[in-house]
Structure formats: structure tokens, C-alpha cells
Structure 1
Amino acid sequence: MIRGASLRGFTRLVEELGGEPVELARRFAIPLRALVSDDELVPITGHDAMLDAAARDLRCPDFGLRLARAQDIGILGRLAPAIEASSTVAEALECASRFLFVHSPALSIAVEPDPRGRREVVALTYRKDARESPYSPQAMELGIGLFHGVAAALVGGLRGLRSVELPHQPLSPVARYTGFFGADVRFGSQAGALRVERRLLEREFSSGDAAVRRLAVDHLARHHTDPEDRVATHARRALIETVGITPPAIDHIARLLAMHPRTLQRRLAAESTGFGEILEDVRRDLALRYITTTDLPLGQVAAMAGFADQSGLSHAVRRWRGASPSEVRRLARGTS
């Protein structure tokens, strides 16, 4: 999931381009409330597919970059004050890395060695967990564009930015990218990243306030549980890796997690969920992902999502979306 704040500015931009934001949201089963509410949770696969569709349908290849211009650090909600009150760039990045799951558990940022081997350079990477959602060029450009804008605003300009790295090939003329970032942009990289001089990590923030940061971090730690600490997260990942390959039995998943099935049941119950609920979520997410983002035959989709046959898939999709798999696929592509 991702917070609806990621769509801040989406409605205005789509309307400026002559599109219908509500129609786009309905095509991808995005709650209409997410278009006006920062805290509404949105399935990240639908969120990203909608961005790609908006760019395609409205003939706006730089849609993600335009949307990034309409946003600022405020979209991060309660995480924003903790970042702004940090004393240095390194401290802000540590905070953002630790708590970005509050915005979306599927996203992560990190400080990594320079992929081009320069010791005086580090890569500030931005990634989406491929186990949770397919790669989206527009969502990557939105994320990297926002990352760049927030960093520049916090330190008064990104002097020391060596290059911007994007995993996909250019969607717009290269001059559009270099004009946006004010630096060289390279395509086909291993990960989205801002390559910056290492000394930038030591830059101090004029907004730094240790007391405010401590209060903000304490609030985040008290009210938000890192998904990596939840048994449900590990059970979900184990199911994603095995659904469609082996029968989705709790005994098998418990063995993969090195615990007794009853222990797994107890720990999931303590997290207010259960094995059946997680399995249903995984099947739904996988099935809808394959239906809306691939051309795979529906019989193959059924098998890959763990259904006994295509009929089982059809009944489930009608329960989830009120339409057949074929209708869901056509709707996602904007075809009649």
C-alpha cells in the first residue's frame, strides 16, 4: 500500500492535461477519497499503473516529473518533521530510511557505495520492492524527482550532485531530464539513485532541532510498527514466493519460517490477522497484477495465483472487483 498523499497534485495535473481523474481512479480501483485525503491507503500496484496509464493516455511522457514538481516533503506526513529537524543530511537519510514504511512499506531509500566505483561519491538509492509490485517508470520518475526536490530544499541546492540514475530508458527527450535535475542523467542503471559527493552527507540543516527530532522519532516509533518486525510480513513474502508452485498450506509456510504451525497461528493472531486472510490478500494482489499488467492467458494467471482452475479465478475476481477478469483487464487498459 501507499498513502494517498502520493497523489497530491494528481487531480489538477490530469485536468490540466484534459483528462478525467475520477475515471482514471475507477479504472484502477483507487478509492476516490485518496484523491483528496493524504491518509487514505492505496494499493501501490494500482497507484503506479494509474500513473503509467495517465502518461500514456494523456500523451504526457514526463507525467511523473510534473507530479513531483507539485509535491514537497509534506507528503510524508508525520515523517516530515523528523527529517526536517535532523541536524545533517546523513541523519535525515537515516531517519527517512528507518521510517519510510510509514508512507509505503514497498518503498525504501538507502546510502550505498557508488555504482561507478568513485570513493568520493555515494549513491542515494530509491527502490520499490519487486515482490510487492511491478516496476513502473512513471512512479520511479515521481519518486526520484521528489527525492531530488526534497533534498535540494533541505540543503539549499544540490551542489555536489554528480548524476541521476534511472533503471529505465528515457521516456522524454534527455534534455527534459537534465533540465529538471540540473545534472547528467543516466539510464539503464541497476537502481534509481542520486549520485552525490560523499561530503554532502555532512551538510548541516538550518532547520535542525535535536529536541523536536527526538519527539518526532519517538512518536513514529511508538505509533508505527516496522513491517520487518511482523511475522505477517514474512508469511506474506513466503506465500508470494511459493503460491502457484506448491500448495499454500500453513504447515509448509511455518516450516519455511522455522516455527511450528500453531506458533505461526498464535503470532499471526497477536498481529490481528490470520493465515487465510494473508493468503487471500496474496492471491488477490498476484491475480490482479497479472491481469492488469500482463497479456498472460487467464488460465495461466489462475495457476500462477494459486487457483485450481480458471473458474476459481473468475469467481474470486468477481468478488473483489464485481467484474470478470477479462473486463478488469480491458478496463485497466482503457479499452471498450
Structure 2
Amino acid sequence: MDALVRTSGLRGYPALMRAMGCDPAPLLRRYHVDEGTLDSDDAMISLRAVVHLLEASAEQTRTADFGLRLSKHQSIDVLGPLSIALQNATTIRAGMDFAAHHMFVHSPGLVYTVHEHSEIAKDAAEVSIEIRLSRQPAQRQAIDLCLADMHNFTRLLAGDRYALRAVSIPHTPIASLSTYERFFGARVLVEQPRASLHLSRSTLAADLLGVDATLRRIAEDYIFRNFRSEHGSVSDRVRQVLRDTLGTSSHSKASVADLLAMHPRTMQRRLAAEATSFEAIRNDVRKELAMRYLSETNLPLGQITLLLGLPAQSALSRACRQWYGAAPSTLRKHKRTAD
């Protein structure tokens, strides 16, 4: 079953659509979203439906930066009980760590991670967001919305101590690069491994002002009592490691097992108990990422081959024919024609 997300994540959607001269009702009906639930903190809907809705809305309104625009209609309150804990954390980093461990409260399909070192910006940390769905659909607008909300919410909490060094996005944007750079006020790098904000370490170390420790404890206690942590199955963990390591020297069975602190045979036994195998998961991850790279980026086929950890471009061609019944160049051309 696909992950759910709080309907509050679409707050402002009807207003934005109407401001752009479009009736939101037909698309909401198509993706089974009740407009009346969008102001609720508790209603849940399919995360996949939200991703599809945002892509379809961008196409219908002919708005390449739809996700960025929607973020301007949202506040940190869309995170529900998480927002209270974050606004009353002792430091920006403490709030980020809490969000990283409890983002499942908003949606188990959203993975928020703090990486200690940025490979793009000096003296900076990298804060990333991932939409985790099987058979991943096109998600440019959803990723843009997530990054924009992260930017707006963190800037709200940090105030004048907010220092964004760079932004990385995993796709080739439809909107111009200058549109992104104006929105974020920082350089933007495309076709990157992750969707991330690269923030100065001084921002993460900043104390929050006007913190109410009692409110924080109430919010944390509410979350601990009412929500169950989602650690994921072994197959989910293997899938995530492979997404992070394909194209490096660490995507072999032994390397992945080592990263998960397991013996390779133990990992295989646990995967077998979940009716899968390392090889099957790696094939699925390659299939998903191949389509994403072909449909959402302009990366050369040779570079895609390397990113998927395949030995040669001919292997990519064989794999695409097996997965999708067509050569990589044909898949890319068909997608662009469809767009």
C-alpha cells in the first residue's frame, strides 16, 4: 500500500488554481481529494495522488514553477503537531533532528535527512528531502514544493541567522534556472543526487527565540503517544541504501550489507523472508531511476549508465528494452513528445 500524507500539505491549492483562472474541482475529483479536508490537520490522502495532482496542475495551468508558487500559500502549520515541536526547539539543528526522526507523522513517504557535510558549499550542512514511492511517478512539482517549504519554514525559524548557500534539485527543471535562483536567493544546481538545501553551519547552531519549553514537551508527548515510528522493512532499508549508492563502489551486496551492519547472508535471509532478494531490489531501483533520469533530466546516456552502476551503455539499452520494451533514446523522445 502506498504512503499517505496529511491533506494540509495541499493547503492553498484551491486558491492558487482559482487565482490562475482554473477551477480546482475537476482535478481534485480525478485524484480523489475532498476540498473540504484541505484545512484539516488530521485527514490523510494518497501521497501518490498528491504527486500526480501537482504535475497535472502544472500542465493544466501551463505553470512550470507551480510547486514554488503553491509554497507561498502555505505556512509551517501544514505540518500539524510537528510544527509546534519545531517552533519550540532549542536550536535549528535540534528541530531538524526531531523532524528527521518524526516526519512519518506528516507522511511516512517523506524522508527528511540532515547530512553533516555539504559537498557543494563550504562550511555547510546538507538537508535533504525524498519522496519515497514504489514505481516513482514524475515528481518535479512535489519536490519543488517540499524544497520551497523547507526553505520558507527554516528561514522563519532562523530569522536573520538564516544563510542558504546553495540548493540542489535531482531533476532538470521545466522553469528557468533564474526562476529558482530568484525564489531561493542562492545558486541552484540541477540533476543532483538529492533534493537538498545547503545551509551554513551557523544557521543550524542558531538558538530559536521565544521558545516555550512547556509547549514543546506537550507536542512531543502527543506525538510519542499517538504515532508509531516507521523504521521500515529490511527490503525498504536495502532499497534506500541502493538509491544512495548506485553508481559508486558501495552498491554491491557485501557493501550494502556492511552499511546496514548485517552479514550478507543474514541480509539475504531476511530479504527472502520478505519474498524478495538483493538482486530483485537492485533491478527495481535501477528501473525506477532509469525512467526518472530519462524523463526528468537531460543527462547523457553514458552518465545515466554510470549513475545506475551498469558496466556499459549497451547494458542500459538491454535493460530498458527488458523493462519498458524500448531503447533509452526512444523512451526519452516519447516522454518529451508527451510533455
CA distance in 2, matches of 1:89, 1:44: 27
Q: 1:142 aligns with which of 139, 142, 145?
A: 145
Deviation string, structure 1 residues 37-65 (Cα, Å, up to 9, x no partner): 34221111111111011001111111100
Candidates 6, 10, 13, aligned match of 2:9? 6
Indicate the residue corresponding to 2:263 in structure 1.
none
Corresponding residue number in structure 2 for 1:128:
131
Q: Which residue of 1 aligns with 2:287?
A: none
Residue of structure 1 equivalent to 2:25: 22
| TM-score when normalising by structure 2 | 0.67
- Asked if the contact 1:34/1:42 (under 8 Å) is kept, the reply is no
- How many angstroms apart in 2 are the aligned matches of 1:36 and 1:260? 38
Partner in structure 2 of residue 109 of structure 1: 112
Question: Out of 151, 165, 168, which is 1:165 matched to?
Answer: 168
Find the aligned partners of 2:197 and 2:87 in 1 and give their Cα distance.
19
Q: Is the 8 A contact 1:169 1:188 kept in 2?
A: yes
Alpha-carbon distance between aligned partners in 1 of 2:236 and 2:186, rounded to the nearest angstrom: 38
Residue number in structure 1 paired with 2:215: 212
**Cα-Cα RMSD:** 3.4
2:99 to 75, 83, 96: 96
* Equivalent of 1:223 in 216, 226, 249: 226
* Residue 201 (1) aligns with residue 204 (2): yes
**Which runs of 5 or more residues in structure 2 are unaligned?**
241-268, 276-294, 296-322, 324-337
Unaligned 5+ residue runs, structure 1? Answer: 242-254, 262-292, 294-303, 305-332
> Which residue of structure 1 lines up, in the alignment, with residue 71 of structure 2?
68
Contact 1:123 1:194 in 2 (8 A): yes
Q: Tell me the distance in 2 between the aligned counterparts of 1:44 and 1:236.
A: 20
**Partner SS for 1:111:** strand
Residue 115 of structure 1, CA deviation: 4.5
Whole-angstrom CA distance in 2 between matches of 1:143 and 1:223: 25
Tell me the SS of whatever aligns to 1:98: helix
Shift of 1:10: 0.2
Question: How far is 1:165 from its partner?
Answer: 0.9
Quote the offset at 1:9 in angstroms: 0.3
2:58 matches 1:55 = yes
Alignment equivalent of 1:184, drawn from 159, 182, 187 = 187
**Which residue of the partner structure matches residue 87 of structure 1?**
90
After TM superposition, give the deviation of residue 118 of structure 1 in Å: 5.2
CA distance in 1, matches of 2:60, 2:227: 37
- Alignment-derived partner of residue 233 in structure 2: 234
**Alpha-carbon distance change, 157 to 126 in structure 1, aligned in 2, over 3 angstroms:** farther
Aligned length: 255
Deviation of 1:168 (Å): 1.1
SS in structure 1 of the partner of residue 97 of structure 2: helix
Where 2:62 maps in the other structure, the secondary structure is coil
Q: Give deviations 1:89-120, integer Å, cap 9, x for gaps.
A: 11110111111111110002111144426562
What is residue 307 of structure 1 aligned with on the other side?
A: none
Say if 2:66 and 2:141, in contact at 8 Å, map to a contact too: yes
2:303 corresponds in structure 1 to none
Distance 2:115 2:10 in 1: 28
Q: Which residue of 2 aligns with 1:246?
A: none
Deviations 1:74-98, CA, capped at 9 Å, x for gaps: 0011111111110101111011111
- How far is the alpha carbon of 1:149 from its aligned partner? 0.3
SS in 2 for 1:18: coil
1:151 maps onto 2:154 in alignment: yes
142-151 or 214-223, which deviates more: 214-223
Task: Give the aligned partner of residue 45 of structure 1.
Answer: 48
* SS of residue in 2 equivalent to 1:227: coil
Q: Retained in 2: the 8 A contact 1:163–1:183?
A: yes
User: Relative to 1, partners in 2 of residues 1:93 and 1:169: Cα closer, same or farther, differing over 3 Å?
Assistant: same
Letter in 2 for 1:74: D
The letter of the residue matching 1:200 is T
Deviation at 1:258, TM superposition (A): 7.7
Alignment partners' CA distance in 2, 1:70 and 1:150: 12
